Chain A
Amino acid sequence: MSGIASRLKLKRGKASKALNEPPWVKGVLIAIAIGFLGFFLILPLLMVFASAFSKGIEVYFTSISDSTAFAAIRLTLICAIVAVPLNLVFGLAAAWAVTKFDFPGKQVLITLIDLPFAVSPVIGGLIYMLIFGAQGWFGSYLRDHDIHIVFATPGVILGTIFVTFPFVARELIPLMQAQGNDEELAAITLGASGWQVFWRVTLPKVKWGLLYGVILSNGRAMGEFGAVSVLSGHIRGQTNTIPLHIEILYNEYQTAAAFAMASILTLLALVTLGVKIYIESKAAHEMKEESR
């Protein structure tokens, strides 16, 4: 994930003539880049919408508005509404701890926060099966008390929280480190309380990075497949999220309907990218203002 922090540098001007490759080399390299990205990214993007509307606009709208589709959309929204704020609070706490204090094991902590990125999403689902599943540690207790976690909404939410765990923290930590603590120190010296510093100084400073982290984790929360697939039990109309609903439709050869649902998530992905571009230009602009 390229964070806002790493891309905040102002682009340099054009390099001098001597540094240019011969035009044909340039042309070939640009062609390779466009060819690769066109083949692997643009073509799939077009394919989603072409297939979604392949049976006409009517099929499209019935596919995304039937009751199982609606239930899937609802569950997906619930997951995001629970997972994103929790991980947001965590991200803020982690970034505050890491960038405002020195303590031993800091680097280890940062690496551990990144763990869910390194772990297969399927394992992200498995670990909660081991705890809450029928044969899991709490399995018999949960059964006796008629509490459903796996193959029910809480399990799906847990899987979502796990896979989106690092996003906000990982966006904020490098950003807050790059910005430094000068303003916060000044505020403290002038007698501001900790909360005042946090709300009035730190939060406004990191707002774009924070927003980007939230957008990214929201996108991932709504689109997660592996972890959720293990934990959901695929009960149609109950524990299916949009990606799981897409899987069922696709496997039942309802291709147009599957792509219709997929087009919703694709639009979400495009909005995420759009917001990213907006935030980047906004952040770069503010940097320029400050350096003036």
Chain B
Amino acid sequence: MKSEQASSTPQFSFPRLPKKVFPGFGISLGFTLFYLALIVLIPLAGVFIKSSSLTAAEFWAAVTTPRVLHSFQISFGLSLIAALINGVFGLIISWVLVRYTFPGKRFLDSLVDLPFALPTAVAGITLCSLYAPSGWIGQYLEEWGIKVSYTPLGILIALIFIGTPFVVRTLQPVLEDMDTEVEEAAISLGAGRFQTFLKVIFPPLIPSLLTGIALAFARAVGEYGSVIFIAGNMPMKSEITPLMIVIQLEQYEYAKATAIAAVMLVISFLMLLCINLLQAWSSRHHGH
């Protein structure tokens, strides 16, 4: 999202365009807006129009049943934990991939994108089978009395899986761009390596790290395919919010489904706003 700079900051690579140098403004913007409205904006607006057919009391009742409230707790709570875990490991992975050389590095680097590319249903059945009591990992955890598949812990595993690329891919370019001269200066002034990391390297990474965590969180909250297989979907135990929408739809309770969707949408919009602010902050930091 670097376009803001394109129109506002003078140091960007191309100068402000005099009007009407290029043809096709009307048709390209017109088609863009038309298609956007048709596929995304009007249908999404439908959610709010439909939920306004409920009275405030009905709306409130639909989104505060114990089952729905519990699903919010599961979805938002576990997504946050998963995103934070992705933050910690994403920082380590991106550091290792940018700064060190070791055999198999290129392979690992490209593998980071696997959760983007692998269909969620495939991820879902695979993780579920891996962590089932008879699965490759599940059988060992079973000995310790840890159950993963069909529990909230399983949901967490699936959310960590799908969130893996976000932090790594937001941090990597920043780390690659980072000037090592500042670190050299810090070290020549007598700072230890760890001190240098904490005081010199880490602070400029914070905006991007938070952006990555926010992206992973936003994705995790809405995730469906990879979660429902491993979740077990037990009411009041391991139901996620998107599943509540599906359940209401299957019972032809469109209005109730839409009410839950409206809550999720508002939260998604807020997340998007946060992410945009974070990205603006991080690009100010790095002066792109």
Contacts and interface: CB of A to CB of B under 8 A. Distances in A.
A203 interface: no
B120 A223 contact: yes
Contacts of B229: 247, 250
A17 B254 CA distance: 63
B122 A120 contact: no
Contacts of B172: 2, 7
The size class of the interface chain A forms with chain B is 35 or more
B127 to A, nearest CB: 6
Main secondary structure of the interface of A (DSSP, over half): helix
Nearest to A215: B117
23 contacts: A15-B99, A30-B100, A36-B92, A37-B111, A40-B164, A47-B136, A90-B35, A94-B32, A96-B24, A106-B7, A111-B272, A114-B1, A119-B265, A120-B241, A121-B222, A123-B222, A126-B257, A229-B224, A243-B119, A258-B125, A269-B114, A269-B117, A273-B113
Given A30-B96, A44-B127, A115 B272 contact: yes
A35 to B, nearest CB: 9
Contacts of A6: 173
Interface residues of B, number: 108
B40 A165 contact: yes
Given A177-B2, A246-B121, 5 more contacts: A47-B130, A110-B1, A115-B272, A120-B242, A177-B3
B28 A266 contact: no
A188 B22 contact: yes
Nearest to A42: B111
Interface in A264-290: 265-266, 269-270, 272-273, 276-277
A225 B184 contact: no
Nearest to B248: A126
A190 interface: no
B224 A43 contact: no
Given A44-B127, A110-B3, A119-B44, A246 B246 contact: no
Interface stretch (B13-21, B54-62, B63-71, B142-150): B13-21
B100 A26 contact: yes
Contact of B245 (A103, A110, A115, A126): A126
